[in-house]
Amino acid sequence: MTSDAQPTAGSRTALTAEQQADIDAMRATTATTRRATVPALEEILYSALPVLDEGRGFVRVIDYMGDDDAIVQAARVSYGRGTRRSRDDQGLINYLMRNWHTSPFEMCEIKLHVKLPIFIARQWIRHRTASVNEYSARYSILDNEFYIPPIEQVAAQSSSNRQGRGATLDAPEARRVQELLREDAERAYAHYEELLNETAAGETIDEERTGLARELARMNLSLNFYTQWYWKIDLHNLMHFLRLRADPHAQWEIRAYADELIKVLERWVPMTHQAFMNYRLGGAQLSQQALDAVRRLLAGEQVDAASAGMSAGEWRELQALLAREPQH
């Protein structure tokens, strides 16, 4: 089953009819190859997988190299499958993941086309282990597309986390925030076109006026406008990205992209996905003091932050990890 983002009446959509036609043409073309392919990933190749804003944001798998077999072959430096059994491969991949043997995972790569708000792109680009080519607003005119958070995600500043959200605002307050964001974005884009003296369709606004250079006109656009890029990364570094950005503490918007990419990961390398979910997203890393505290707790000792040599914050995190009531 494919996941193409299809336009629907009355909704904002990620793709124009022309863009969808281009994707349909690519998906209708097939090639004979001797290299490894993954049927489940081929099913969604080139399709726009909607993420934010009723599909205005998306990810698309453009190309990939390798599969679970490539990881196993690299780890064993073997010629091919031979007489191996799938459970042997899963056991090896589990071992590699559990013991942080990362280089076999670097044998697989994936190339994605991502459409995302600029403020999320600036978080995303912090992961400097990928090859990136972004849409250039020096060369082209940005579309009039911007992100407005859904009402349930319009929240106050957290009182305990300087980079997080707290309680959701009341509906009237949240709607006013959405109105302000929309008004500001619409005004900024109108001024952007006025500075350019040109529309995104290439039409001149005033024949008697010279437009400002595109590299200068873009300055007034706000961070909620959408940008696009091609992003190519190996599997090891993709999983590092997902471990951080699918975490509950990550910003909701980038987490939405990470959640979609985890589904792509499952299609692409199902054995690796299983190990990743078990040992990375579902697992935890303990400090020496935390591990010692757990051992003492299992032995029936009474342990608190001071006797464990841990800060109050570290102790709270350990209690939450062990699903224990806070100890005072």
Catalytic residues: 245
| Helix or strand holding residue 111 (H, E) | strand 109-117
CA within 13 Å, CB half, 84 = 17
For residues 154 and 178, is the Cβ–Cβ distance under 8 A?
Answer: yes
Q: Are 309 and 289 in contact (CB under 8 A)?
A: yes
Q: Name the DSSP letter for residue 283.
A: -
CA distance 268 to 112: 13
Residue with tokens 């073309």: 29
In contact, 205 and 193? CB cutoff 8 Å: yes
> Residue 282 has which token pair?
């579902």
Phi then psi for 168, rounded to 5 degrees?
-65, 140
Q: Which helix (H) or strand (E) holds 58?
A: strand 58-65
d(CA 178, CA 154): 8
Of 287, 285, 314, the closest CA to residue 304 belongs to 314
Residues 41 and 28 sit within 8 Å (Cβ to Cβ) = no
- Token pair of 34, please? 């001797």
Q: How far, CA to CA in Å, does 311 sit from each of 66, 159, 323?
A: 44, 20, 18
